[in-house]
Chains A and B, each alone.
Chain A
Amino acid sequence: MIRTLARPALLLLAQMVLTLVLAPLLPGIVNKVKALFAGRVGPPVFQLYYDLARLLRKGAVFSRTTTGVFLAGPAASVAVPFTAALLVPMGGATAPVSFAGDAVVLAYLFGVARFFVVLAALDTGSAFEGMGAAREVTFAVLAEPALFMGLATLARLSGGPSLAPMLTAAGQGWRAAGGPLALVLTAWVIVFLVENCRIPFDDPNTHLELTMIHEAMVLDHSGPPLAAVLYGASLKLWVLGALVVKLCLPHRGTWWIDWPAFLGGMTLLACGVGVVESIMARLRMRRVSQALIAAVVSGTFGFLLLLLA
């Protein structure tokens, strides 16, 4: 009895602790790679931890026009990726929480987070934040079908609507269904970059409000709420990155191979993001929606390919 309970408990603990502790490393790795590309030393890999510690010690300033909704944005942007991390299998073939249809829950959990972040942005009454919110939801509308077409392909591959078996089947299925999976991977990488506001779709380091998408929405946060927003962004990067990594990673069944492989995959992904950010320019705003539609088409095509071939 205790042995059967111990494994899931250990998995839950390992996954949560690793997610919570390691997530802020990813932006650090991305920035380090970017700095190396530019020939700079760059900020230390642990910079985000320092930033979070600094922000948490500061006081928060709230605009007089804001209401309680303003704090719902930072709260949701931490709580939601954390919840979503429970649904995604990371090291092994199973996730701490798994049930039929959890893939849909995962997709809409991020929808909930977006809803609250947008509400918080609109709550400030700032024109820039409203503009950022409008852009964010515009692109989200297009990113969602791309994610879902990928999920549908994986569901078809694994024969069930549960995320953990879906991703495991994908990891094992590259030999049998490489074409559809490559298309899904393309779609998901685009979704991953858009959702996490990375170049070429959005620039996380931009300081011009007019060109921002996500950053424009969090301009008015300060102190601990800003720390929550930054930490939430890194968690989201981690969870969506885990989706992409697990899509490519075959599952071996022994934890001392699977976990290091997963962590290595995440590091590689972060390096890849850094390389992309170094060698690509930002797309014009109207090309972003085109790239997202291309992602949808890619996912749909992968699904059709799997259905018919």
Chain B
Amino acid sequence: MTPNLLLAAIMLINFMLVASSRVSKCIQLAALQGGLLALVLLLMHDHWPFHVLLMAFSTAAIKGVVIPAMLNRAQDRMKPQREPEPYVGYTLTLVMAAAGTGLAFILARRLPLQAGNLGTLFVPASIMALFTGFLLLTTRKRALLQVVGYLVLENGVYLFSLLLVKQMPLLVETGVLLDLVVGIFVMGIVINHIQTAFDSQDTHRLAHLKD
């Protein structure tokens, strides 16, 4: 069974992420996306050997529970403040994400893929997730949203690597997941420092000099 519908749902979540202005909602959406990735991994295999189950479980646990919980914790610790307006407005980023989706479909057609992967949405979904993550990283001012962007970007990489899952050992994936946790951890520390230094997590302020 091809998990095309799940992939479509993942792409839709990308659109929602780009359109929503609330940090807590973005974190929830990213968590949902992580959970769906685990489901995609399960659906790709007809029978589930131990390492696949382990991989799916750790994906769901790390991307769907641990990292969102960390982000939520960071969010709770922040002082409540007005959302800074993003560099590029929500509507415009949504249009850009739509254009990016079109590009992703075109790109996916041009890539020399294995015959079995042509009809599926894997490659467009992964390129689109990369693009969306990139958009979030560059257009948002809040550090937490940028971390969510990084997470989405990584989800795109993960999706792409799922294509190779039959050829490659899942060890690489496990390593990537570990990297991700460490990365988010470091970002959490950085956000904390930004918060204490600037009394806000608006990364725009990092551009100004300060004594």
Interface residues of A (CB under 8 A from B): 178-179, 183, 286, 289-290, 293-294, 296-298, 300-301, 304-305, 308-309
Judging by beta carbons under 8 Å apart, are A294 and B121 in contact? no
Query: When chains A and B are docked, how far (Å) is the Cα of A301 from the Cα of B121?
Result: 12
Alpha-carbon distance between A309 and B125 when the two chains are bound, in angstroms: 12
| Chain B residues with CB below 8 A from A305, complex form | 4, 8, 121
- Complex CA gap A308/B7 in Å reads 13
A301 and B90 form a contact (CB under 8 A): no
Q: In the complex, how many angstroms separate the beta carbon of A115 from the nearest chain B beta carbon?
A: 26
Given contacts A178-B5, A305-B8, contact A297 B121 (CB under 8 A): no
Is B105 an interface residue when CB atoms closer than 8 A count as contact? yes
From DSSP, what is the main secondary structure of chain B's interface residues?
Answer: helix
Partner of A301, one of B4, B5, B15, B95: B15
Q: Which residue of B lies closest to A305 (CB)?
A: B8
Shortest distance from the beta carbon of B19 to any chain A beta carbon, whole Å: 6
> Judging by beta carbons under 8 Å apart, are A304 and B102 in contact?
yes
Asked if B98 and A300 sit within 8 Å, CB to CB, the answer is: yes
| In the assembled complex, B80 has its CB within 8 A of some CB on chain A | no
Q: Indicate if the CB atoms of A309 and B15 lie closer than 8 Å.
A: no
The CA of A293 and the CA of B19, in the complex, are separated in Å by 10
B11 interface contact, C-beta 8 A: yes
Taking CB atoms, residues of chain A closer than 8 Å to B8 are 179, 183, 301, 305, 309
Q: A308-B121, A309-B4 are in contact. Are A293 and B91 (CB under 8 A)?
A: yes
Contact A294 B12 (CB under 8 A): no
* Chain A residues near B11 (CB-CB < 8 A): 301
Whether A293 contacts B94 by the Cβ 8 Å rule is: yes
Complex Cα spacing A293 to B18, Å: 12
Residues of A within 8 A of B105 (CB): 304, 308
Bound complex: CA A264 to CA B177 (Å): 50
Cβ B4 vs Cβ A294 within 8 A: no
Q: How far is A42 from B120 in the complex, measured between Cα atoms in Å?
A: 52
**List of A residues within 8 angstroms of B90 by Cβ:** 290
Given A290-B94, A304-B101, A309-B119 in contact, is the A297-B4 Cβ separation under 8 Å? no
Could you give 5 example pairs across A and B, Cβ below 8 Å? A290-B90, A300-B98, A304-B101, A304-B105, A305-B8
Chain A residues lying within 8 Å of B19, measured Cβ to Cβ, are 290, 294
Who on chain A is nearest to B2 by CB? Answer: A309
Select B4's contact among A179, A286, A290, beta carbons within 8 Å: A179
The residues in B between 88 and 117 inclusive whose CB is less than 8 angstroms from any CB of A are 90-91, 94-95, 97-98, 101-102, 105
| In-complex Cβ contact of B98 among A183, A297, A308, A309 (8 A) | A297
Closest beta carbon of chain A to B12's beta carbon, Å: 7
Q: A217 CA to B171 CA in the complex, in Å? A: 64
